[in-house]
Each structure stands twice: as C-alpha cells, then as structure tokens.
Amino acid sequence: MPGIGPRRQSGLLQAFKTPQAALAASFYDVCNVLGGTTHARVWCDAAHAPMSDAVLQTLEWLSAPDHHLLTLADAVYPPRLLDLPDPPSVLFCMGDTRLLSRISLAVVGSRNATPQGIEHAERFSAAVSAAGVGIVSGLAAGIDAAAHRGGLTGPGSTIAVIGTGPERVYPASNRALAHRIAAEGVIVSEFAVGSEPKAGHFPRRNRLIAALGKGCLVVEAAMQSGSLITARQANELGREVFAIPGSIHSPVAKGCHLLIKEGARLTETAEDILQELGWGTATAWPALPETEPAAVPEGEEGMVLTALGYDPVTVDELVVRCGLTADRLCAILLALELQGVVLALPGNRFQRGA
C-alpha cells in the first residue's frame, strides 16, 4: 500500500489491535487514525480489493522451505528492532530465524574497500563469530561481503539485511554468498517480494543493521558514506560504536577517524570489542593470529620496501624516494607483488602488505 509505511502500520495496529480489525475498519475510523483522507483511501481500497498478484506471489514464495514471514506478534521477531521508532511490522526471512534474537555485532564499511580492509573485516568477523556472536551486515560488495564470509566460519554465523525483495540478490556478484547465508545463516528484508533495488531502500536497510547489532564495527568508510550514517544510528540507539583506524592518506580511513574523534572506540583487535561489550576476556576467546613482520630483503627490493612504508604510494613518488628508473622500479614492484609482500591498488598506487 503506497504511503502506508511502518509508522502508519504501527498506528493502525495500536488503534485496532489486530491486522484483521484494521482491514475491516470503516473509512471514517481509519481517517481518524491516519490523520487524513488520502492514506485512508489507499488503505480502505486495498483492504476491500480482490487478492492481488503481489499477495499471490508472496504466498508462492512462502511455500518454499525455510522461507518465513515474521510479524510483531511472532516470538522470534527480533526484539532489538523494537528500539526503533518505526520497527517493520513484517519481515521476510530466508534461513534460521533463531539467529535474529541472539547477540550480534553489526559490521559495515566501504563497497570500494582496500585488500587490507577486506582482510580486516573477514578476520575480525571470524574471531567474533568464533565467540558465538553473530555478524550483521548488508550483503553489499566490499566490507559487507567479507564480514559475512567471516561470520559463516564460526557458530555465531551471520545475518544479511537486504534492500530488495527477499527473492533478489543485489549485487548479483554476491549470489553464491547469498545462497550460502540462506543455508547457514539468515537473510532478512522488510521489502515485499518483487521489490527492486532503489536508492531509498538502503537507508531503511541500514537502520535495521544498526538496530540488530549490540555494537557496530566500522572497518573502512569514506566521508559522507552510508556506513557513517549507520554508525551514528547505532549510537543513537545506545549501541557501542567501534572503528578501525587506517592511514591518514587513505580516503576510506577518513570516516573511521572522524568516528573516533566523535567518541567511537579505536579498535585494533577483536578482543577490544569482546571485552568492551562484556562478551568475555582476551584469554577466553580466540584471538586473531599475530602477524610477525616479514624480513626485509637486501638490495634494491629492500630499498623499495623501506621506501613504501605502509601508506599507499604512487610509482612517481617511489621513483623520487628510491632514485631508480620507472622501468626498473616497476619490475621490482611486480616481483614483490608476486611474493605477496606488496599490494597493487587502484590509481597506479602500491602499498606494503606485511
């Protein structure tokens, strides 16, 4: 019903107690609740119309195994969503709905993540999931997908909140991951079957991610990004916000640095999160493996690695730092990349990986 969103649905339920009574209510009574004739007419016309194709399509979707429709009256409706001023009156779910009531951590970040950011998201999520804590994210490319992969490795598993109808996968590149989450975790949407990805859907999705987690970890985020909005929504809901710092030169670290300035917890290990939220001590939960610094090779390779440091650097900058020709420098960088100690980044930039 166009214009009849969660807030108006909630008002109707409060006034008439059940969906059946709300659908059977008179136009006059509905007007009094919705505060005008426009939305009341939409409601009453739909309430008295024959069963629509959309409803039939939804009933067909629900006939499949592990497809669920949750309402506010269901025992497994996630209680943390009730902290929202506009909790969805209906949730479409695929998978294990029991995960929705367990303790979870929201993990969000950039779609255009760096290789290091993707590694951080997956490793942090795996460590938290190993402690029995679920990972909530949005099934987007980049940090979201890495967080889901990490969550699936442990007993905490993962919850994917999507901004489309439950039968769609967006982006399509995450199709295999979505099928795995539906089998081993749970996919959640407040959007009806057949809903396409629209720009306005994703802020609504993000508020559910913020609410479902007891805390929110931001791995990489640019300024003015949706991840920052999600983190601030989590903070407004009383959730603890965590942020992983990065290079002062990296655009996807600036959002995390801003959050830290605003009071988010600077986070270096998964134990920082587990301890802060009272989910155990560093000795009680599996720790992230410590990475020993790789030995710096001798000669020109060692000189290039030293010049690289740990911030992204262009080839032109390295030419100046090392005094090598561009051709010779590119050959050394290729050799180091093949050894796995240097990462090639977009924009003809390179970064030391270990």
Q: Dump pLDDT digits (tens) for 297-315.
A: 678 888 888 888 767 788 8
DSSP 8-state symbol, 267: -
Q: Please, which residues have CB within 8 angstroms of residue 320's CB and are 6 or more apart in sequence?
A: none
Proportion of the chain above pLDDT 90, given as a percent: 70
**Token duo for residue 121:** 């998201």
Cis preceding linkage at 171, omega within 30: yes
CATH topology of 1-49 equal to that of 94-276? no
More confident residue, 337 or 163: 163
Looking at 21-30, 279-288, 319-328, which range is the least confident one? 279-288
* pTM score of the predicted model: 0.82
Q: What is the CATH number of domain 94-276?
A: 3.40.50.450
- Inter-residue contact 221 to 110 (CB < 8 Å): yes
Tell me the C-alpha distance between 175 and 165, whole Å: 14
- Inter-residue contact 228 to 259 (CB < 8 Å): yes
Q: Dump pLDDT digits (tens) for 101-151.
A: 999 999 999 998 988 899 999 999 999 999 999 999 999 999 999 999 999
* Mean pLDDT over the full length of the chain: 90
Q: Read out DSSP for 203-260?
A: HHHHHHHHHH-SEEEE-S--TT-HHHHHHHHHHHTT-EEEE----TT-TTTHHHHHHH
- Inter-residue contact 149 to 177 (CB < 8 Å): yes
Q: What is the CATH number of domain 1-49?
A: 1.10.150
Beta strands in the chain (DSSP E): 67-71, 90-95, 104-108, 134-137, 158-161, 186-189, 215-218, 240-243, 265-266, 313-314, 342-345, 349-352
Sequence ranges of the domains in the chain? 1-49, 94-276, 299-352
Tell me the C-alpha distance between 104 and 156, whole Å: 8
* Mean pLDDT within 196-221: 95
Residue 302, pLDDT score: 86
* Residue 351 pLDDT class (50, 70, 90 cuts): confident
Q: Does domain 299-352 have CATH number 1.10.287.110?
A: no
